[in-house]
């Protein structure tokens, strides 16, 4: 018998031992929950009746007569083999006769329980079955019925905020000194322009490179997999599963970044790049040298063949002249939807929130430490990869909606337009005394000031400029204290 309970738990009848109606624990089941980490308990009921009695009950219930099917082996015993048959279960091993791992539920104790006929398939699915009131009294021979309400929720592990160390993989463009200065640490190299914060995402084509290690030495991916409920919370798990849905970076453009773009979700899934994510991203500028600019989108429609010609001949000036040039300053935010060609100008330090992938298609590589013809198209071939580029004409007012100028330090709250909501959230909190933050997986980047982060469990984490702090659902409600300026990056609302 295969069926689905009201709680969404899939059941499979493996075998049963005849007993009086209402007996407990005289069957063997395997319960497979679609919710990872869930535990269930329930009641096993076996009804044993003669074939004549079964037919009488079918007539009383208004069901058609069931004809006996010939047995393939007429000499074999009609009784199931006796003795326990252990099978894996959420609680360990459940065998026939085990009653300490199951409990009564509803009216089943007295032998009257919801209709479930293994001869007709899933519970209550027969097309010619009468109304439910008549079906409630029907008991089939050797019927196993399992009502499975969720077991009492276990106490959630209490977690503390974690201060994360830098995680700067080597990249093909220059940068890194501004990250070191921001964090108050020594410089580590000239080609470490990205600090991957709370990363559950490896570099494209790598296995572990780019993944965050927690202060304990454990990979964040392993920690989340071992206790996703505590890290992410039940609402997040229901909507997104075990994915953190977020990657945060500190990025130091030691030189102008090459013109590039990122595929959207549909393109990434269709071409086997990722099962659920593209790469939309957003930036908040932390600091910038004189005349800082970013380049966003084409100002006119560009044909695919024209773009392919620019890229193959590396006509960078032609591409830059066709793109919108957007001046920025410290405190500005920019949302970059997937597909939009863009380039970050030199001398800019920023916080970046993005979808958790490392998917980039290079339109420019000349003068950078990468072979774009070989490594710049995600293994798809340049002609296919260029189809992910948004080549339409973006009007100035459309670009303006992507760029939010600085508020001059006078306000707090969400930093991004509503178009970013399906992908991630970014908030800024300038605190003069106290501010309560709700629980959830998030990354705090401390921009300036001194303060502390207190949890509902009374733990206190000192904060200063340059720190990056990871919080989880199980950290609970947070309170920022002191005179401090913080950016908080979060997954989308579950």
- What is the number of domains present in the chain? 2
Looking at the structure, do residues 239 and 345 belong to the same domain, yes or no? yes
Looking at the structure, do residues 35 and 90 belong to the same domain, yes or no? yes
Looking at the structure, do residues 58 and 127 belong to the same domain, yes or no? yes
Is pLDDT at 432 greater than 50 in this prediction? yes
Torsion sign across C-alpha atoms 379, 383, 387, 390: positive
pLDDT at residue 25, as a whole number: 33
Nearest to 108 by CA among 70, 139, 142, 151: 139
Looking at the structure, do residues 22 and 86 belong to the same domain, yes or no? yes
Looking at the structure, do residues 137 and 193 belong to the same domain, yes or no? no
pLDDT at residue 407, as a whole number: 76
Residue 298 lies in a domain: yes
Residue 287 lies in a domain: yes
Residue 226's domain spans which residues?
Answer: 163-408
Last residue of a domain, one of 379, 408, 437: 408
Residue 330 lies in a domain: yes
Looking at the structure, do residues 98 and 29 belong to the same domain, yes or no? yes
Residue 481 lies in a domain: no
Looking at the structure, do residues 376 and 234 belong to the same domain, yes or no? yes
Looking at the structure, do residues 169 and 249 belong to the same domain, yes or no? yes
Last residue of a domain, one of 154, 178, 207: 154
Taking the CA atoms of residue 285, residue 286, residue 289 and residue 294 in that order, the dihedral angle to the nearest 10 degrees is -10
pLDDT bin (cut points 50, 70, 90) of residue 138 is very low
46, two tokens: 């076996």
Termini Cα distance of the chain? 35
What's the rounded Cα separation, in Å, for the pair 441 and 280? 19
- What pLDDT digit, counting tens, does each position of 21-60 carry? 333 333 333 333 333 233 333 333 334 445 566 666 667 6
State percent of the chain over pLDDT 70. Answer: 68
Residue 451 lies in a domain: no
Mean pLDDT of the chain: 78
Q: Among 119-128, 142-151, 451-460, 473-482, name the most confident range.
A: 473-482
Residue 461 lies in a domain: no
Task: Look up the CATH number of the domain holding residue 188.
Answer: 2.60.120.10
Looking at the structure, do residues 220 and 278 belong to the same domain, yes or no? yes
Looking at the structure, do residues 65 and 190 belong to the same domain, yes or no? no
pLDDT at residue 456, as a whole number: 83
Last residue of a domain, one of 376, 392, 408: 408
Looking at the structure, do residues 244 and 286 belong to the same domain, yes or no? yes
What's the rounded Cα separation, in Å, for the pair 373 and 381? 8
What's the rounded Cα separation, in Å, for the pair 427 and 425? 7
CA atoms within 13 A on the CB side of 5: 20
Looking at the structure, do residues 145 and 179 belong to the same domain, yes or no? no
Is pLDDT at 318 greater than 60 in this prediction? yes
Q: 290 near 214, Cβ under 8 Å?
A: no
Is pLDDT at 115 greater than 80 in this prediction? no
What's the rounded Cα separation, in Å, for the pair 320 and 472? 41
Residue 444 lies in a domain: no
Q: Among 15-24, 111-120, 378-387, name the most confident range.
A: 378-387
Residue 21 lies in a domain: yes
The pTM for the full model equals 0.71
């Amino acid at each position: 018998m295969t069926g689905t309970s009201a709680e969404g738990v899939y059941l499979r009848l493996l075998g049963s031992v005849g007993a009086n109606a209402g007996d407990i624990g005289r069957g063997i089941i395997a319960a497979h929950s679609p919710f990872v980490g869930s535990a269930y308990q329930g009641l096993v009921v076996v009804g044993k009746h003669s074939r004549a009695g079964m037919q009488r009950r079918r007539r009383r219930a208004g069901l058609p007569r069931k004809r006996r099917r010939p047995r393939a082996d007429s000499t074999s015993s009609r009784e199931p083999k006796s003795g326990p048959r252990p099978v894996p279960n959420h609680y360990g091993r459940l065998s026939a006769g085990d009653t300490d791992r199951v409990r009564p539920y509803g009216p089943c104790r007295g032998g009257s329980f919801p209709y479930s006929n293994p001869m007709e398939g899933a519970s209550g699915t027969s097309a010619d079955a009468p109304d439910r009131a008549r079906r409630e009294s029907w008991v089939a021979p050797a019927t196993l019925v399992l009502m499975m309400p969720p077991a009492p929720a276990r106490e959630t592990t209490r977690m503390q905020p974690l201060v994360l160390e830098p995680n700067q993989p080597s990249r093909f463009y220059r940068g890194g000194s501004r990250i070191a200065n921001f964090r108050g640490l020594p410089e580590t190299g000239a080609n470490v322009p990205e600090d991957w914060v709370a990363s559950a995402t490896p570099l494209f084509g790598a296995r572990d490179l780019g993944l965050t290690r927690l202060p304990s030495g454990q990979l964040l991916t392993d920690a989340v997999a071992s206790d996703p409920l505590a890290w992410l919370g039940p609402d997040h798990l229901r909507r997104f599963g075990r994915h953190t849905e977020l990657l945060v970076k500190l990025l130091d453009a030691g030189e102008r970044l090459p013109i590039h773009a990122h595929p959207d979700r549909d393109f990434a899934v269709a071409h086997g790049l990722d099962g659920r994510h593209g790469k939309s991203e957003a930036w908040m500028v932390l600091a910038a040298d004189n005349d800082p600019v970013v380049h966003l989108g084409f100002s006119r429609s560009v044909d695919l063949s024209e773009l392919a010609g620019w890229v193959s001949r590396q006509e960078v000036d032609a591409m830059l002249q066709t793109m919108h040039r957007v001046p920025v300053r410290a405190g500005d935010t920019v949302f970059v939807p997937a597909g939009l060609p863009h380039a970050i100008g030199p001398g800019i330090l920023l916080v970046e929130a993005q979808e958790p992938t490392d998917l980039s298609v290079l339109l420019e590589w000349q003068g950078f430490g990468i072979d774009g013809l070989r490594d710049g198209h995600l293994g798809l071939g340049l002609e296919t990869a260029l189809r992910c580029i948004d080549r339409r004409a973006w009007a100035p007012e459309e670009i303006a909606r992507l760029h939010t100028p600085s508020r001059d330090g006078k306000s707090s709250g969400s930093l991004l337009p509503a178009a970013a909501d399906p992908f991630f959230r970014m908030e800024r909190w300038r605190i003069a005394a106290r501010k309560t933050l709700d629980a959830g997986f998030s990354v705090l980047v401390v921009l300036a000031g001194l303060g502390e982060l207190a949890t509902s469990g009374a733990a206190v984490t000192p904060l200063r400029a340059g720190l990056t702090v990871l919080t989880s659902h199980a950290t609970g409600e947070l309170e920022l204290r002191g005179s401090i300026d913080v950016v908080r990056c979060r997954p989308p609302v579950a």
